[in-house]
Structure 1
Amino acid sequence: MRLVPINAAKESTFLAQTIYDDKGRILLAKGVKLTNSLLNRIKEHGFYCIYIIDEYSQGELDDIIKPQIRQKAIATVRATLNTCVNLEDDKLNKFERKKIEKRSQQELDQIQQLAKLIVDDIFTQRDIMINLVDIKSSDNYTYNHSVNSAIMALVLGIGYGLNRNELYDLTMGVMVHDIGKMFIPQEILNKQGKLDDNEFKIVKEHVTRGFNYLRENTNMSTKVRIISLQHHEKVDGSGYPYGLKDVQIYKLSKIAAVAEVYDALTSGRPYRDPLPPNEAVEYIMGSGGRHFNMDMVKAFVKNVNPYPIGTIVYLSNNSIAVVEEINSEYILRPIVRVIKQDGRIVEPFMCDLKRESNIVIKGICYEV
C-alpha cells in the first residue's frame, strides 16, 4: 500500500486503511473499491490523503498500535479537552463546577491509563520503526495530533534510551501538550491565511494557558506539565514562551518538540496541504542544532521511515521505482524495483541504493 494525496487517488484502486470520521466512527472500511463519489465523500470530510492498494503496491503496513486503542485514545483526549473548556465558564455554580472538575479528573485518569497501556505494549517491541503517517481530517486534527505525536514521541524516547517511567511521563505529557489550544479562538487556529502579529501572540499563549490549567485543575506531575509549557522552545533560543536554549529545556520537552512538529508537518490544515513524509524528515534533519537537539534528531532519523515499502519514488537517474525493502541502517537508501526509465516502461529490476551511491531518491511519485 502507499500514501497518496486525495487529488491523486484514482477510481478502481482500493482503500488500504480504514478511515474514521471526527467521532471515531468508521467512515470507509479498508478494502473498499474507490469510486469518484467515494473520493468526493472523503474530500468532503476534510481528508487530504489516503492509503491505497494498486498494481504497484500490494503489501500492507501495520500500525505500531491497534486501531481500536488509537481510536479510544483519540476519543478520550477529545472528551478531556472539551471538558476543560467548560471549567472556564464563569457562570458555573459551585455544584456544577465540582461535577465538571470530577469528570475532568476521571478523563485525565483514563488518558494516564491509556498512556501506560501504549507504553507497555510498544516498549516490549524490538527494532520499532514508524512507517505510517496517520490519516486525519481537518475536523479532528487537534485530537489526532495529540495522540499521534504521543506515539511518535514514545518511539523516539525508546530510541533515545529513556526508562519506562520517563516514557510514561513523556507519552502522557504529549497527549495533553496542546490542551491550552482549547482556550484559543478557533477562528484564529483555523485561519486560512497567515496570522498577523497579534493573532500569533494569542496562539503562543496556548502553552502557558495549558500549563496553568494542568497545574491548577489536575494532579498531573511536574514533568507532564513542563512538556505542555516547553514543546515550542527551540535549542537556539528562538522558541517560546521563554526563549530557552538547549541545556535549559527539559529533555522530554525536546523529544516532544520533534514529534509534534513532524506530525504537524505531515497533517493537512485549512491553510496548507500536508508535506510528504520524506520532506518532513528532511525538515527535521535540517533543523537539528537550530530548532531541535541533535541527539533527538539522531533518534528520530533511526526510527522514522520516510519511504515505506510500496512507496513509488523518483530517482536521480530519471527513473521511477517502487520501494521493496528497507535498509535499516540507511533508511534513506532502500532497495527499490525500477519500473520506468526516461519515461518508458521497462522490465522491472532491483536496485540497492545502499550500493548504488551515485543514485539518490529525489522525491515521492504519486502518478506513474
Structure 2
Amino acid sequence: MRLVPISRLQEGMKLGRKIYNDEGLVLLSDGVVLNSALISRLSKIDIGYVYIHDALTEDVEIPNMLQDETRNQALKTIRTQFQEISSASDIKKGFYHLDKKFSKVMDSILDEMSGQEDPMIMLHDMHTTDNYLYTHSLNVCLYTLVLGIAHGYSRSDLTMLGLGSLLHDIGKTQIPVKILQKPGMLSDEEFRHMQAHTEIGFKILKEEPNIPLLVAHCALQHHERINGSGYPRGLLGPQIHEYAKWIGVADSYDAMTSSRVYKKAMLPHQAVEALYVGSGTLYEQQQLEIFRDRVAIYPIGLNIKLSTGESAVVVKIDPSLPHRPVVRVIEGPEREKIAPYELDLRKNLSVIISSVME
C-alpha cells in the first residue's frame, strides 16, 4: 500500500485501509474503488492522506498501534462519557463511575501494547474530524504510553500516565463547540475560554473519589511549558509534573499531525522538526530525544525522494533506527520506470532521504 495525499487521488484507485468517523464507525471500507463522488467527499472531511492499494507495493503491510476492536471500544467509552459530562447541568455533582469505565479501557490498551516488541508512534488510522476531541484523546494516550514504555515506567506508573493522557482534555467538554471548531483565529476572549479547559478538567477530575489527584494535575498542567510560557499558571520546568510534560509533547504532536477545519495536517517528520524548535525552552530535551527515537517519522507507504534522485516508497521501519528505513525504489532520477528494488538505508549510509514527495 501507498500513502497518497487527497489532492492526488484519481478515479479507479482502490482504498487500502478503512476510514472511520470519530465514533469508530466505518465510513469507507478498504477495497472500495474511488470515483469522483467519493474523492469529492473525502476532500470535504478534513483527511489529508489515505492508503491506496498499489501494484508496486501490494505486499507492504501497514502496522496498527491498536487492533480495530480495542480502538473502537476505547473511542466508544470516550464518546459516551464525554457526552454525558458535556450535557450535565452541574459538573460539581461528579461522575462517580469514571474510574471504572476508563480503568477498563486502560487495561485493554496496556494489555495489547505490552505484547508488542518496541512499540512505536505510527501514523494514526484515518478518521474524520467531526469531533476531534475523541480521537485526539485516544491518540495522545497511545503516544504517551509509547514514550512511557520507552522511558521504563512500571505497569502501575503507565496506568496512571495513561489515565492522565486519556483524560487530559476532559475540560473541553465544557467549551462551546463554536469555539472548539472555529475555522479561523480565535479572538482574545475565545482564546481565554479555550485556555480554561485545563482548570475545568482539573475541577472535574479532582471531584472524582477514585480518580487519583495526579490524573487531575495532568489535565491542569499539560499546556505548561518549561520556560514558564505555558498556561494556566506559567509554571517553570521543575514545577511541572513529568507526566504532564510527556503529555504536552504527545498533545502537540497529535495536534500538528491531525487535519482540522482550520489547518492541514503535517507529516510526522515535519511535526518532529517543529517540536525540536522548542527543545530546552518548551519541552525537555531528554523527552524529545526519546520521542524522536520512538516515532516513525517516515511512515510505511510514504513516497520519498532520495539523494540519488530516485523516487521510492518506505516499506519497512527498524524501531532501533526509525529515521533510516528500508525503501523500495520505483523510479529513476528522471522519473523513468525501472525494475523496483529495495534499498536498506541502515546499510547504505551514503544515501539519504532528501525530500518527501507530496
With normalisation by structure 1, the TM-score equals: 0.89
Match of 1:341 among 329, 333, 340: 333
Q: Which residue does 1:164 correspond to in 2?
A: 155
Q: CA deviation at 1:56?
A: 3.8
Q: Quick check: 1:56–1:322 contact (8 Å CA) kept in 2? A: no
Q: Quick check: 2:22–2:130 contact (8 Å CA) kept in 1? A: yes
Tell me, which stretches of 5 or more residues in structure 1 are unaligned?
91-96
Matched, 1:3 2:3: yes
Counterpart residue type for residue 243 of structure 2: L
SS in 1 for 2:119: coil
Q: Which residue does 1:198 correspond to in 2?
A: 189
SS in 1 for 2:34: coil
Q: CA deviation at 1:228?
A: 0.5
Matched, 1:143 2:134: yes
Tell me, which stretches of 5 or more residues in structure 2 are unaligned?
none
What percentage of residue pairs aligned between the two structures are identical? 35
Q: CA deviation at 1:327?
A: 4.0
Q: Quick check: 1:276–1:364 contact (8 Å CA) kept in 2? A: no
1:292-322 CA distances to partner (integer Å, 9 max, x unpaired)? Answer: 1122112211211121332210223433112
Q: Which moved more, 1:308-317 or 1:208-217?
A: 308-317
Within-5 A mapping of 1:58-137 = 58=58, 59-89=60-90, 101=94, 104-137=95-128
Q: Quick check: 1:321–1:340 contact (8 Å CA) kept in 2? A: no
Match of 2:352 among 337, 340, 360: 360
Aligned residue pairs, count: 356
Q: Which residue does 1:330 correspond to in 2?
A: 321
1:209-249 CA distances to partner (integer Å, 9 max, x unpaired)? Answer: 11011112453101211111111111222111112222221
SS in 1 for 2:117: coil
User: What is the Cα-based RMSD across aligned positions, in Å?
Assistant: 2.2
In structure 1, distance between residues paired with 2:209 and 2:176? 23
Q: Quick check: 2:70–2:108 contact (8 Å CA) kept in 1? A: no
In structure 2, distance between residues paired with 1:44 and 1:121? 34
Q: Quick check: 1:16–1:60 contact (8 Å CA) kept in 2? A: no
Q: CA deviation at 1:160?
A: 0.8
Counterpart residue type for residue 79 of structure 1: T
Q: Quick check: 2:120–2:319 contact (8 Å CA) kept in 1? A: no
Q: Which residue does 2:272 correspond to in 1?
A: 281
SS in 2 for 1:271: coil
Q: Quick check: 1:278–1:363 contact (8 Å CA) kept in 2? A: no
Matched, 1:297 2:288: yes
In structure 2, distance between residues paired with 1:226 and 1:15? 42
Q: Quick check: 1:149–1:175 contact (8 Å CA) kept in 2? A: yes
In structure 2, distance between residues paired with 1:329 and 1:286? 24
Match of 1:189 among 180, 196, 204: 180
Q: Quick check: 2:23–2:72 contact (8 Å CA) kept in 1? A: no
Q: CA deviation at 1:4?
A: 2.6
SS in 1 for 2:70: helix
Q: Quick check: 2:2–2:313 contact (8 Å CA) kept in 1? A: no
With normalisation by structure 2, the TM-score equals: 0.91
Matched, 1:177 2:178: no
Counterpart residue type for residue 211 of structure 2: M
Counterpart residue type for residue 286 of structure 2: D
